Amino acid sequence: MRSLAGLGRPSLLVALVFSLLAVAAFIAASRTGRRDLSEAGKRALYATFGFTALATISLITALLAHDFSLGYVANYTSRSLSVPYTISSLWGGMEGSLLFWTSLLTGFSALAIAKAPARNSRLVGAAGAVLMGIAAFFLFMVAFPGNPFAQVAGDVPVDGNGLNPLLQSPGMVIHPPLLYTGFVGFSIPFAFAIGALFTKRLDDSWFTATRQWTLFAWTALSIGIVLGGAWAYTELGWGGYWAWDPVENASFMPWLTATAFLHSVVIQEKRRMLKVWNVTLIVLTYGLAVFGTFLTRSGLLSSIHTFSEGPIGKYFLPFLALLLVGGLGMVAYRLDSLRSENRLDSLISRESAFIANNVLFLAAAFTVLWGTIYPIVAEISSGIRLSVGPPFFNTIFTPIGLAIIGLTGIGPLISWRRMSKGSFWRMVKVPLVAGGVTVVALGLGGLSSPGALLSFSLCAFTAAAIIGEFIRGSRVYRRRDNVGLLTALNRTIARNRRRYGGYIVHLGVLLIVIGFAGNAFKVERRADMSPGDTLDVAAYTLTYEGMRTAGTSEKDIFEATIAVNRGDDDLGSMRPQRNLHLAQGQWQSEVAIRTNPIEDLYVVVTGFDTDQSAVIRTFVNPLTWWIWMGAAVMLAGMLVVMSGRIPVAVAAATKAPAKREPAVAQ
């Protein structure tokens, strides 16, 4: 393939000019309401996207053509790298990932603005101006300080440094694009929210116009986070999936505030309340998404994920400050127009449950933010170097997480507006019994961890509450249409996809929590073994049989063979590897995992010697399988949610005066 790198930077400069033109046209359109200006803005936006896409394609051709005259290509690829990993090196380094960010942003902006309802031309104009303002910043970043088309200093190398071996994994081909899709996807609701504040169109139109974008971004971010965990689990060799690393935290913070937003926006839809709160949440979510990108790419916090450090921090910080101060300043400026049109009818109501949910999610987001930045704050303020790691986050997060799980069960049981205490107890009785029976059964069965007992019982409580909702819903169809359980269930879900899709997402979350709770029973062993040696780990006996060597053009492979027995059962062999990646001269472990719903047997070679002896690290991780299953269920639930529309009755109800709203329970 021929490198088109020469087109790259000129395309970025042209895209930058078009983005600025689009900002000007959209601002004029939102102020005057003139359609021709709005059309001009749209055309400039499409041109911005076109030229950004051209620059991205140029870089991809340079990567595939091994054009080592570009510093970026020389730093992140090599001739022996396979085509999928060569393409994935587009987001393997700082400059390429910023370009990828920018092309996603301009592409999403073009789609969102093209599909936005024409009747909201002022709102769309203002949103377009915000989107193109953000795009102009990122285009400046990739055209100047973070230019991926910069030439290599000195002679052009014959071969490149290659991609970090840790990134050479199928999970890493998908994980970063999904995270970036999530981060960038929140640009759309953010821009429409700011547009609504500017144009004073503070009804529901900004979030109904961007609802699918919000759901899409949240889903992409959720799956991206889980895939990141799966990558850590299968590639890093420490037997876990979440280390509270600053970069993991960077993706988790916007997820927490976005989850709060997805819940609280329902109150605005149903009751026209929490308008200030919802705009604030989307501003915070986008601010945290940009902060996450800044954290990852500025080198402010060093972490195993921060593969490159560049001179971009000094630009990111003012930009982030502008987003947050500008966004929150606009919220303050429009405070009067954002007042709720309704009031709460009762403390025992679904609205109250949603508000409690939001407090918990925000407290969780603040904890992660605070824990992530506190080492810097402490060093700047008092010169003391200290660390904030997993024990801190686990201590604070566990009670918050358990409270959220409990609320997830209570929420669906409470009616909107009001509910008598008697009705509440009637609804909560069966889930309480489910939770109690779980504690008693597991406690009598020998489970001795209070945290795990509490987690499992809360999961049982919430699962019973959610399953009860499905049963109550499908009972109507079974009686009315005289159909079987599955058909009735199907009709129940099809009738209100957002609600029941949401419940499916909650069931997925419960499965993930079950997987987390299993971590309390993890067993870890490590031994220096010679061929023939055995190692007992929980109920397993591992026999090290020896080391086989092989080689490819990319790496020297050293593969251990380990026979696994469980009591008298022969479970076959596992073959973990310890490989030397030639281009980087870097050792990398390839983990062997034997997985099932009960537990994972996880084996990794951490070192070996010429006499065939090897250091084998082994983990038995109970219930980890449920984490990945839970993520799949969450994804299925989100697909159901996204396939739904707002029920006409709900839309009408939100338009009716509050006092005339029917006092229905749901």
Partner 1 sequence: MKRLILMSLVIVALASPASAQSPEDLANDISQKVMSPFCPGVTLHDCPSQSALDMRDRIEGFARSGMSEAAIMERLETEYGEAIRAEPSSEGAGIVAWLLPALVALAGGALAVTLVRRWSARRAKPIAGEPSRVATSAAERQRLDAELGRLRGES
| Binding to partner 1, residues 443-462 (CB under 8 A) | 443-444, 447-450, 453-454, 457
Q: Is the dihedral of CA 390, 396, 399, 405 positive or negative?
A: negative
Instruction: Tell me which of 374, 487, 594, 642 binds partner 1, using CB under 8 A.
Output: 374
Question: Within positions 481 to 540, which residues make up the interface with partner 1, using CB under 8 A?
Answer: 520, 524-526
Phi, psi of 551 (to 5 degrees): -150, 150
- Decide whether 479 or 655 has the Cβ nearer to partner 1: 479
- Least distance in Å: CB of 252 to partner 1? 14
Among the residue ranges 36-44, 183-191, 214-222, 242-250, the one whose residues contact partner 1 (CB under 8 A):
242-250
- Decide whether 31 or 525 has the Cβ nearer to partner 1: 525
User: What is the DSSP annotation of 258-283?
Assistant: HHHHHHHHHHHHHHS--HHHHHHHHH
The reply to whether 376 sits near partner 1 by the rule CB under 8 A is no
- Decide whether 27 or 284 has the Cβ nearer to partner 1: 284
- Residue 83 tokens read as 């085509």
- Least distance in Å: CB of 441 to partner 1? 10
Instruction: Tell me which of 146, 148, 160, 237 binds partner 1, using CB under 8 A.
Output: 237
Q: What is the DSSP letter of 119?
A: G
**C-alpha separations of 519 from 451, 513, 524 in Å:** 11, 10, 11
- Least distance in Å: CB of 105 to partner 1? 28
Instruction: Tell me which of 57, 152, 396, 535 binds partner 1, using CB under 8 A.
Output: 396
Note whether 216 and 188 are within 8 A (CB).
Answer: no
- Decide whether 113 or 604 has the Cβ nearer to partner 1: 604
Among the residue ranges 7-15, 468-476, 539-547, 593-601, the one whose residues contact partner 1 (CB under 8 A):
468-476
Instruction: Tell me which of 2, 119, 314, 343 binds partner 1, using CB under 8 A.
Output: 343
- Decide whether 573 or 666 has the Cβ nearer to partner 1: 666
Across 141-179, b (16+ Cβ under 10 Å) vs e yields: bbbebbbbbeebeeeeeeebebbbbbbbbebbbbbbbbb
The reply to whether 422 sits near partner 1 by the rule CB under 8 A is yes
Task: Give the span between the Cα atoms of 397 and 419, in whole angstroms.
Answer: 31
The reply to whether 395 sits near partner 1 by the rule CB under 8 A is yes
- Residue 330 tokens read as 């606009």
Give how far the C-alpha of residue 146 lies from the chain's centroid of Cα atoms, to the nearest Å: 25
Note whether 614 and 608 are within 8 A (CB).
Answer: yes
Note whether 582 and 647 are within 8 A (CB).
Answer: no
- Least distance in Å: CB of 402 to partner 1? 11
Among the residue ranges 56-64, 251-259, 346-354, 592-600, the one whose residues contact partner 1 (CB under 8 A):
346-354
SS3 content of the chain, % helix, strand, coil (to 5): 65, 10, 25
Task: Give the span between the Cα atoms of 210 and 515, in whole angstroms.
Answer: 33
Question: Within positions 282 to 301, which residues make up the interface with partner 1, using CB under 8 A?
Answer: 301
Q: Is the dihedral of CA 188, 194, 197, 200 positive or negative?
A: negative
- Decide whether 126 or 454 has the Cβ nearer to partner 1: 454
Instruction: Tell me which of 97, 264, 367, 579 binds partner 1, using CB under 8 A.
Output: 367
- Decide whether 87 or 356 has the Cβ nearer to partner 1: 356
Task: Give the span between the Cα atoms of 502 and 642, in whole angstroms.
Answer: 10
Instruction: Tell me which of 117, 318, 391, 572 binds partner 1, using CB under 8 A.
Output: 391
Question: Within positions 321 to 340, which residues make up the interface with partner 1, using CB under 8 A?
Answer: 340
**C-alpha separations of 180 from 93, 225, 579 in Å:** 14, 11, 30
- Least distance in Å: CB of 12 to partner 1? 32
Binding characters for partner 1, 400-419, by CB under 8 A (x = yes): x--------------x----
Task: Give the span between the Cα atoms of 128 and 39, in whole angstroms.
Answer: 11
Question: Within positions 114 to 133, which residues make up the interface with partner 1, using CB under 8 A?
Answer: none
- Decide whether 5 or 592 has the Cβ nearer to partner 1: 592
Question: Within positions 63 to 92, which residues make up the interface with partner 1, using CB under 8 A?
Answer: none
Among candidates 291, 310, 307, which has minimal Cα distance to 172? 307
- Least distance in Å: CB of 373 to partner 1? 10
Instruction: Tell me which of 39, 151, 332, 387 binds partner 1, using CB under 8 A.
Output: 387
- Least distance in Å: CB of 384 to partner 1? 5
Binding residues for partner 1, how many (CB under 8 A)? 86
Task: Give the span between the Cα atoms of 402 and 391, in whole angstroms.
Answer: 17
Among candidates 613, 614, 611, which has minimal Cα distance to 603? 614
Question: Within positions 605 to 664, which residues make up the interface with partner 1, using CB under 8 A?
Answer: 606-607, 615, 659, 663-664
Note whether 362 and 274 are within 8 A (CB).
Answer: no
Among candidates 60, 66, 54, 90, which has minimal Cα distance to 176? 90
Task: Give the span between the Cα atoms of 128 and 110, in whole angstroms.
Answer: 9
Instruction: Tell me which of 359, 483, 636, 650 binds partner 1, using CB under 8 A.
Output: 359
Binding characters for partner 1, 574-603, by CB under 8 A (x = yes): ---------------x--------------
Among the residue ranges 253-261, 321-329, 379-387, 563-571, the one whose residues contact partner 1 (CB under 8 A):
379-387
Among candidates 264, 179, 268, which has minimal Cα distance to 221? 179
Instruction: Tell me which of 114, 304, 332, 651 binds partner 1, using CB under 8 A.
Output: 304
The reply to whether 268 sits near partner 1 by the rule CB under 8 A is no
- Least distance in Å: CB of 520 to partner 1? 7
Coil, strand or helix at 607: strand
Would you call 324 exposed, middle or buried from its count of C-beta atoms within 10 A (0-12, 13-18, 19+)? middle
- Least distance in Å: CB of 340 to partner 1? 8
- Least distance in Å: CB of 469 to partner 1? 10
